[in-house]
Amino acid sequence: MSFLIVEKEVRPGVALIRLNRPESLNALNRALVGELTETLLSLDKEDSVRAIVITGNERAFAAGADIKEMANDGVVDMLLLDQFQRWDQIKRLKKPLIAAVSGYALGGGCELAMLCDIIIASETAQFGQPEIKIGVIPGAGGTQRLTRAIGKSRAMEYILTGRFFSAKQAEAWGLVSRVVPVELYLEEALNLAAEIAAMPPIAVQLAKQAVNKAYELSLEEGLHFERRNFYLLFATEDQKEGMRAFMEKRPPQWKGK
Ligand code: HXC
């Protein structure tokens, strides 16, 4: 049984993954997370895929990890399953990932959206880390990524109460790039993905790497990393082509080399 609908070339170079477990508000059971990770790893290796959009449906992006599935687990089950290595694999993907979020993005659903590089939200989106209400805490990055995105005081408030926050709040606090009407959120995300997919792919990959380092390194180390990636791009044919095309006043033809 598949919990995803995968479509390639929804726009040139763009693959779309729809989480498809609507009866459970796309609760992220282990099979779904496994399938999602395998699909992403495989799309990441395909040259024709330049950007990936992950979405749910209008009612829910994902309402979190599957509570029913983990309710009776013990710590040894958790350790042996080591589900979070899946999340680490997603974090290491090279291609840009865009989350198109409508409805609930809660718990692991909010964490999945935050694992993506860009979040586009429908005005109906609701974000939250409500794990505290079921006796646990965020486990797939929520305490770290939400805090870095919206600041300590707000992250504490929302993680300690489990309250939800709106798309407008998420936008004002910098968690999401843009909030659009519900009829447009997927369209908007796909168009953005297509715009990125039309850029030179090695530069996109090295830019993504460098921006992500801003979360992990000191400013000094981050600047060093950025500079190394900048220099590296001068070994690509696309750098020569991009600069030549500018001077010749014509559109560039990217080779991905
Ligand atoms: C399993 C879930 C689920 C979940 C919803 N459902 N969320 N099943 N795990 N996380 C199921 C419901 O049981 C129900 O199934 C159906 O989806 C519809 O949900 P309702 O509750 O009837 O809908 P509604 O009244 O509209 O309320 C929506 C809701 C609520 C506010 C989103 O469902 C809710 O609070 N869900 C749990 C949110 C949550 O706590 N998420 C964090 C999980 S922990 P039936 O069969 O009864 O009709 C987590 C840890 C992350 O994510 C760790 C890393 C992965």
29-78 pLDDT, tens digit each: 999 999 999 999 999 999 999 999 999 999 999 999 999 999 999 999 99
Alpha carbon of 62 to ligand 1 centroid (Å): 9
Average pLDDT, integer, range 114-127: 98
171-218 pLDDT, tens digit each: 999 999 999 999 999 999 999 999 999 999 999 999 999 999 999 999
Are 14 and 51 in contact, with CB atoms under 8 Å apart? Answer: yes
Residue nearest atom 23 in ligand 1 by C-alpha distance: 25
Q: Give yes or no for residue 134 having a pLDDT over 90.
A: yes
Residue nearest atom 47 in ligand 1 by C-alpha distance: 24
Cβ of 35 closer than 6 Å to ligand 1, yes or no, is no
Burial 37-76 (b: 16+ CB within 10 A, else e): bebbeebbeeeebbbbbbbbbeebbbbbbbeeebeeeeee
Distances from the Cα of 51 to the Cα of 28, 96, 104, 156, 232, angstroms = 22, 5, 24, 33, 22
Q: Give yes or no for residue 96 having a pLDDT over 90.
A: yes
Identify the DSSP state of 133. Answer: G
Distances from the Cα of 82 to the Cα of 34, 79, 93, 176, angstroms = 12, 5, 19, 29
Average pLDDT, integer, range 120-139: 98
Q: How far, in Å, CA of 257 to CA of 237, rounded?
A: 5
* Bridge pairing between strands 51-55 and 97-101: parallel
pLDDT value at residue 136: 98
Helix extents (H) in 18-101: 30-45, 67-70, 75-81, 84-91
Average pLDDT, integer, range 146-167: 98
The residues near 242 (Cβ < 8 Å, ≥ 6 apart) are 200, 252, 254
The reply to whether the predicted model has a pTM over 0.95 is: yes
Residue nearest atom 35 in ligand 1 by C-alpha distance: 63
pLDDT value at residue 76: 95
Cβ of 180 closer than 6 Å to ligand 1, yes or no, is no
Q: Is residue 111 among the annotated active site residues?
A: yes
Alpha carbon of 103 to ligand 1 centroid (Å): 12
Q: How far, in Å, CA of 148 to CA of 240, rounded?
A: 37
Q: Give yes or no for residue 1 having a pLDDT over 90.
A: no
Per-residue pLDDT band for 113 (boundaries 50, 70, 90) equals very high
Instruction: Give the distance between the most distant pair of CA atoms in the chain.
Output: 65
Cβ of 27 closer than 6 Å to ligand 1, yes or no, is yes
Cβ of 67 closer than 6 Å to ligand 1, yes or no, is yes
Given ligand 1 and candidates 24, 37, 68, 88, which is best to mutate, with the most ligand atoms within 8 Å of its CB?
A: 24
Q: How far, in Å, CA of 63 to CA of 77, rounded?
A: 22
Average pLDDT, integer, range 103-118: 98
Per-residue pLDDT band for 15 (boundaries 50, 70, 90) equals very high
Residue nearest atom 43 in ligand 1 by C-alpha distance: 64
Q: Give yes or no for residue 90 having a pLDDT over 90.
A: yes
